[in-house]
Amino acid sequence: MKNFKKIAAILGVIVLLAVCCLPMIFAFGSGENAQGNFKAAVGCVILVPVLAYVFFMVYKLLKKDEKEADGKVKNIIFDVGKVLVSYDWEGYLESFHFPAEEEKLIGEKVFKSQIWNERDRGALTEEEYRKQFAQALPPEYADDLEKVIIESGRTIEAKDYAETWTSYLKSQGYHLYILSNYSEYMLEQTRSTQMPFLKNMDGVIFSCEVKQIKPDADIYETLLSRFGLKPEESVFLDDRPENCEAARALGIHAIQFHDLKQAAKELEKLGVK
């Protein structure tokens, strides 16, 4: 491509020099058309550079518009938890009315644990993860733990704006995607009941289905490659700062989500309205 541009530039210079030499050729000519040819040559000397300049400026404008279009956000990638759905494990756990010490310990060893996070990866079976939870708690909590896990899908509820917001963005021509850490068990409980917005998505990646989790780079790379997305044309919304930073490291625009109004303003700064 670079060689082609060099050759084109050299040919353009040769053509311009040849045009500029035409008046000199016709100036020494003879015959009844000599004067007319001379005037025509002078006109070419004036007109050709002007046209060349005009074509050059048009080309630059087109290239600029093309570059701007390439960098324009076309893809909006959503986390699910605390962005499109609420995740209220504290309220859910309180509903069991366990003694304060038991409630605190289950909260720490289950919902706030690294086991819970790794469960989203789906590398082990659900039974194996439950064994790990049980081993982290006193044996007398076993029955209560099972009650908590069985209905844990109740921690999830679709945000009232989720379906409307994603439908609107879809109607504006944006491509929408999901990139979310989610366990297989929780997904089975909530996918059909709490995620009506999935119908607006052009692609969905849940961590348990690809055995990868945020903020590891590989899950972002899976999203980009699977759906053919350009990082500079994509924006990612997630409530966790570490997940946003991981996206930015790959060239993806990222917005840490706090609420709908804040996120909409941040998207507007990127040209998304």
Q: Which of 41-50, 64-73, 194-203, 252-261 shows the lowest mean pLDDT across its residues? A: 64-73
**Mean pLDDT of the 117-137 span:** 98
Q: Are strands 85-87 and 156-158 parallel, antiparallel or unpaired?
A: antiparallel
Report how far residue 108's alpha carbon sits from residue 130's, in angstroms, rounded to the nearest whole number: 15
Task: Report the chain's C-alpha Rg in angstroms.
Answer: 32
Quick one: pLDDT at residue 2? 45
Run of H or E including 265: helix 260-269
Quick one: pLDDT at residue 59? 46
Residue 38 binned pLDDT confidence (cut-offs 50, 70, 90): low
pLDDT at 96 over 90: yes
**Mean pLDDT of the 43-52 span:** 60
Report how far residue 258's alpha carbon sits from residue 77's, in angstroms, rounded to the nearest whole number: 15
Residue 118 binned pLDDT confidence (cut-offs 50, 70, 90): very high
Q: Which of 34-43, 88-97, 135-144, 147-156 shows the lowest mean pLDDT across its residues? A: 34-43
Quick one: pLDDT at residue 14? 74
Query: SS3 of 138, please?
Result: coil
Question: Is-contact 68 270, C-beta < 8 A?
Answer: no
